[in-house]
Amino acid sequence: MRELLPTIAAAVTPLILLATLLVGPTLGLVEWQPPILWTTEFGNIGPNIQNQLTSITTDKTGLYAAGSLETYSTATGYSSYSFLNRYDPNGGQVWSQNLGNSVVFGIGAGADGVYVARSNGSAYVVQKYDLSGSPIWADQLGTLTIYASPISVGGTGVYVTGFGPQNPNNTTPLLVRAYDFNGNSVWTNVLANVNYGGASRVYADSSGVYVTESDGVNPVDSHAFVSRYDINGALQWTRQFDEPGFTCWCGTNGISGDASGIYVLGSTRNALPGQSLVGHTDTFIRKYDSKGNALWTIEFLAPYSTGASDEHISANPSGIFLLVFGSMLRYDSNGNRVWSIPLHQTTGALSVGENNVYVGGPWGSDPGRKAFAEAYDVSSSLVLFGVNPPFSFVIAGLLASAAALSVVWLRKGWKKKVRRATQRPLVRTSRDLVTL
């Protein structure tokens, strides 16, 4: 029996490898997806303690993350504070700023620092920190009210969008304000008077500023639109999502861009022109060029529903990245899906850098968990038994080598048996001798 063990092992090894390849993907043992490069967690854990990372932005040397952390003591009860952290590309914390009792609505990275849009309890503020985390300037927004994703850094300045005081007819002015990098207010324009129901989003590049807003996703006219300003504050164009004879019933949730155009992320309860309504509420992306021409639209359901997430979009030359209902997706600039993966934690922040894409959370009411930031590779690769490249390929190579050696062993053993059988001496029987 002991002599048969090598043969049995050689026979079983290829079968184990084949079973791993067939069953492994369903068990999460073998995956072709963007590997998680690192995860960092922070904050205290306790009953009903809520920690959140709500904003992420990147530059060439790392990333910034903002959110809020909560603590509890029997003497003072629950207390919370907002933070602004800087990390290097490997997830190491470079510095941290305690922003006190405030709410951070958005952050944007520039070449010489990071810009924060937040409320300090009594006013809404835009503030700049340098690369070392030192505060440089702050400006109160006066009557301007800001919400999610209200800030973007372009080539010539910083842009903030929000809402002014309500008009007598119950509409609310949507405003855009431009700052230079020294904190001087350059211009403020009223983009439209809207039925106050959604959040405005802004994206800026070297040539202009794009703003999108809607009154929410309802079976009524939501007036979703996207507009472009030049860097001097002159309105270039506005595009409505409603069309003659068609009501969008949609809300816009994010905007980003690259050199080829801008991308608007939204949700809809209607089939957009040329598309089909897949579920009760679909996600859509629409691409425009810089002149306002709609280049393409895609409408879809998130492929996974493994957890909750806010909806975000971030684009650069490597692709368009989305957070949608527990899924992270990557598209190319032509609207083709490159990959999609389920996220293992509730997420509320997204930003793509030069080589990696970053997410953060938790998002919403998710007590008892630490805040986290996580980095993924932008490209799919082999993740084997939870091991990332390049070591996953080393393991795959070792398994393939073991299977090949097993086949060689079995082949040699079979040849040896055949050779012994053919070389066995002829044994003559008594009957043969009589015949002779």
Spatial distance between the Cα atoms of 179 and 43, rounded to a whole number of angstroms: 33
The three-state secondary structure class of 63 is strand
Token pair listed for 243? 């069309």
Enter the tokens of residue 227.
């507009």
Tokens matching residue 126: 């835009």
Residue 374 vs residue 122, higher pLDDT: 374
91: left (phi > 0), else alpha (psi -120 to 50), else beta? left
In terms of C-beta density within 10 A (0-12 exposed, 13-18 middle, 19 or more buried), how is residue 291 classed? exposed
Residue with tokens 């007598």: 168
Secondary structure letter of residue 380 according to DSSP? -
Q: In what order do the strands lie in the sheet with 371-377?
A: 36-42, 371-377, 356-361, 349-352
Does residue 259 carry a pLDDT above 50? yes
What domains are there in the chain, each with its CATH number?
Answer: 33-391 (2.130.10.10)
CB 239 within 8 Å of CB 288: yes
Q: What are phi and psi of 159, to 5 degrees?
A: -125, 135
With CA atoms as reference, report the closest residue to 250 among 228, 225, 227.
225
Query: By percentage, how much of the chain surpasses pLDDT 90?
Result: 47
- Read off the tokens for 186: 């350059």
**What residues pair up with 300 in beta bridges, in sequence order?**
283
Q: Fill in the DSSP letter of residue 50.
A: B
**Residue range 118-165, pLDDT digits in tens:** 988 778 899 999 999 999 999 998 877 777 678 999 999 999 998 888
Tokens 């968990």 sit on residue: 369
DSSP 169-196: TS-EEEEEEEE-TTS-EEEEEEEEEE-S
Contacts of residue 394, Cβ cutoff 8 Å, sequence gap at least 6 = none
Question: What's the token pair of residue 388?
Answer: 């990332």
Q: Are strands 208-213 and 172-179 parallel, antiparallel or unpaired?
A: unpaired
β-pairing, 319-324 vs 93-100, is unpaired
Residue 390 has a CB neighbour count (10 Å cut-off) of 10
SS percent in the chain: helix, strand, coil, step 5: 15, 50, 35
Looking at residue 214, what is its pLDDT?
Answer: 79
Flag whether pLDDT at 75 surpasses 70: yes
pLDDT surpasses 70 at 393: no
Arithmetic mean of pLDDT over the chain: 82
- The tokens for 66 are 């903002």
pLDDT of residue 46: 79
Q: Please say whether the dihedral angle defined by the alpha carbons of residues 171, 172, 173 and 175, taken in this order, is positive or negative.
A: negative
pLDDT band at 27 (very low <50, low <70, confident <90, very high): very low
Q: Which of 218, 229, 315, 336 is nearest to 264 (CA)?
A: 315
- Rounded Cα–Cα distance for residues 157 and 202 (Å): 13
Question: What is the Cα–Cα distance from 118 to 105, expressed in whole angstroms?
Answer: 5
- Going through 60-195 in order, the beta strands assigned E by DSSP cover 62-73, 77-87, 93-100, 103-110, 113-119, 124-130, 135-140, 151-153, 158-163, 172-179, 185-194
Specify the pLDDT at position 226: 94
pLDDT for the residue 364: 61
User: Predicted confidence band at 354 (pLDDT cuts at 50, 70, 90)?
Assistant: confident
pLDDT confidence tier of residue 435, bands split at 50, 70 and 90: very low
User: Which pLDDT value is given to residue 3?
Assistant: 53
Flag whether pLDDT at 8 surpasses 80: no
Query: Rounded to an integer, what distance in angstroms lies between the CA atom of residue 363 and that of residue 328?
Result: 14
**Whole-model pTM above 0.95?**
no
391 has pLDDT over 50 = no
Encode 368-383 in three state secondary structure: CECEEEEEEECCCEEE
Most confident of 12-16, 87-91, 432-436: 87-91
% of the chain at pLDDT higher than 70: 74
Report the amino acid identity of residue 367: P
Q: Say which residue, 157 or 308, is predicted with more confidence.
A: 157
pLDDT class for 387, splitting at 50, 70, 90? low
In three-state secondary structure terms, 433 is helix
The pLDDT-based confidence of 389 (bands split at 50, 70, 90) is low
**pLDDT tens per residue, range 313-342:** 999 999 999 999 889 999 999 999 999 998
The answer to whether 129 touches 181, Cβ cutoff 8 Å, is: no
pLDDT in tens, 219-232: 455 678 999 999 99
More confident residue, 6 or 282: 282
Tokens 């996220």, residue located: 343
β-bridge mates for residue 243, sequence order? 246
Mean pLDDT, residues 408-412: 58
- Which of the two residues, 138 and 72, has the higher pLDDT score? 138
Work out the pLDDT band at 433, boundaries 50, 70, 90: very low
Closest CA to 162 of 112, 213, 205, 221: 213
In 3D, which of 181, 158, 62 has the Cα closest to residue 112?
Answer: 181
Question: Order of strands, edge to edge, in the sheet holding 235-240?
Answer: 201-204, 208-213, 225-230, 235-240
Mean pLDDT within 186-192: 88
